[in-house]
Amino acid sequence: MTFPQRLFDGYNAFRASRLPTEQTRYRALAESGQSPEIMVIGCSDSRVSPEVIFDASPGELFVTRNVANLVPPYTPDGATRAVSATLEFAVMALKVKHIVVLGHGHCGGIRAYAEQSKPLSSGDFIGKWMELIAPAAAKLGGRERFASHADFVTALEHQSTVTTLDNLMTFPWVRTAVERGGLMLHAAYFAVATGELTVRDPATGEFKPIQR
């Protein structure tokens, strides 16, 4: 099996341009370890890389990505849970000061839920995973409240980030850190078509363009 040529080319470009300018930083990170202050919970969608959107350098962001940028509620049942393990490490070991839930436009997972798409396989892993946004859909009150299906999907993309914030607060160590003032939770939304980033105002619940 041949390794993808695109990755060969990309790595060679990285070695020729970016690595020389950041070599000192990489060496420092290797010796002292990482200490990012910000965790980003993003979507696996190839169009919404947090490192690209926020122009981050190595070591600045601690990122976890999954379909539709979701976090299941705290469930200490002994099951293997990748998102919970990543969250635990970020808060308890790295002591991050911010967690940003980064939603985005044209999300395939959200669309699959809204359109009740047929399973892609017998396991229906996406369908079962997307059941996590049922509370978000319930808060919106149904499709009939929106002028179009597209408006409903966009609203669901926004509301699902808020539901994820609620789920984050079910984790004891997250709640404790927030209540003590050492951790802040944020919801943001990236419009793929325009590149505009909006951030949720916790006081009003509205998503507003980030100030330049």
Which residue, 87, 92, 89, 97, is CA-closest to 60?
Answer: 97
Does the pLDDT of residue 159 top 90, yes or no?
yes
User: Per-residue pLDDT tens for 167-190?
Assistant: 999 999 999 999 999 999 999 999
Does the pLDDT of residue 209 top 70, yes or no?
yes
DSSP class of 118: P
Predicted confidence band at 166 (pLDDT cuts at 50, 70, 90)? very high
42-53 mean pLDDT: 97
Does the pLDDT of residue 36 top 70, yes or no?
yes
186-199 mean pLDDT: 97
- In the chain, residues under CATH classification 3.40.1050.10 are 34-209
Does the pLDDT of residue 211 top 90, yes or no?
no
208-212 mean pLDDT: 82
pLDDT at 80: 80
Does the pLDDT of residue 1 top 90, yes or no?
no
pLDDT at 212: 65
User: Per-residue pLDDT tens for 77-118?
Assistant: 878 899 999 999 999 999 999 999 999 999 999 999 999 889
Cα–Cα distance, 138 to 171 (Å, whole number): 22
Cα–Cα distance, 194 to 159 (Å, whole number): 20
pLDDT at 56: 96
pLDDT at 142: 81
* 193 phi and psi angles, rounded to 5 deg: -65, -35
Fold of 34-209: Beta-carbonic Anhydrase; Chain A (3.40.1050)
Decide if 67 contacts 109 (C-beta within 8 A): yes
pLDDT at 16: 96
112-134 mean pLDDT: 92
Decide if 125 contacts 188 (C-beta within 8 A): no
